Homo-oligomer: A and B are copies of this chain.
Amino acid sequence: MLLIELYLTTNLDLTPVKKNNQINCNDCGIHDLCLPALLADVDISNLDSIIQRSSRSINKGFHIFNTGDSFQYIYAVRSGAFKSYVNSYSGEEQIFSFHLPGELIGLDAIYSNIHCSSAVALEESQICRIPYEFLDENSVGSEGLKSQVMKLLSKEITEDQQLLMQLGQMKAKEKMAALLINLSIRYEARNLPHDLFTLPMSRGEIANYLGLTIETVSRVFRELKGYGFIKIKGKKIVLKDIPALKHLAGIFVSNNPNENAIK
């Protein structure tokens, strides 16, 4: 496989990637969850020369892009977590997505070539990125890549719609259960414990994301703990009764949907 030495030259705090400590996509721990897994039709060795990896981690609070930035890269989370948010006209922040390892960030800018959201690290994180040009209509050899990115875009729409549904008609308790189950499923997909993890976001970020207040988030956690559905201490959470949480979230589980019913 051909490996090309890359010198990254952006505002990101990335050091040049050296030949000898370079990891290729095939060796990456989240290979199956990231772009390569979606690129069956594309020559992966070629992809490896396109994808740029950060050699050192990104600090909590570091913005990988801001609203108004020109579209230069698509990012993939290698480790850690990010949030995407937009600012309303009145300046308030609205989080619309949390990004876990193996997930992509920045696709919103394809439309206007300008990012209309900001993305920031919620904790010590590592990322990979692909120059935007490889998705550009004039680029060659990226046919399969473009199709896959279209699928990802489409998937993102589907996910946004699910969130819309949650925000639109669900009660606080249901929204929170839905978030926990959603995180659980995503952690499971990367082969991490799905019933015991550390929430990468603060209570305030959960509240913002779900359209609630911090106090309500706190109270609902207490209530779910009271039911024995979860154990929570700070950001460490254990999902003790996933079927009950799924039921709360409106996800059909048992044959008798009333048997776990809680007012």
- Chain A residues packing against B (C-beta within 8 Å): 41, 86, 88-90, 92, 94, 96, 107-112, 116-117, 135-137, 143-144, 146-147, 149-158, 160-165, 167-169, 208-211, 250-252, 257
User: What is the minimal beta-carbon distance from A50 to any residue of chain B, in angstroms?
Assistant: 18
CA distance A67 to B146 in the complex (A): 25
Check B164 against A251 for contact (C-beta < 8 Å): no
Residues of B within 8 A of A92 (CB): 169
Give complex CA distance A161, B41 in Å.
Answer: 31
The answer for the CA separation of A167 and B169 in the assembled complex, in Å, is 10
Whether B135 contacts A150 by the Cβ 8 Å rule is yes
Cα separation A87 to B108 with both chains bound (whole Å):
25
Counting every copy of the chain, the complex holds: 2
Given A167-B211, A169-B211; A116-B158 close (CB under 8 Å) = yes
* A164 lies within 8 A of B94 (CB): yes
Known contacts being A86-B165, A164-B96, A165-B86, is A154 close to B211, with CB within 8 Å? no
- Can you spell out 13 A-B residue pairs with CB atoms less than 8 angstroms apart? A86-B161, A86-B165, A88-B165, A96-B165, A107-B157, A116-B158, A135-B150, A136-B147, A137-B144, A149-B150, A153-B154, A167-B167, A168-B209
**A150 in contact with B210 (CB, 8 Å):** no
Whether the pair B169, A109 counts as a contact (CB closer than 8 A) is no
Tell me which of B88, B108, B146 contacts A157 (CB under 8 A).
Answer: B108
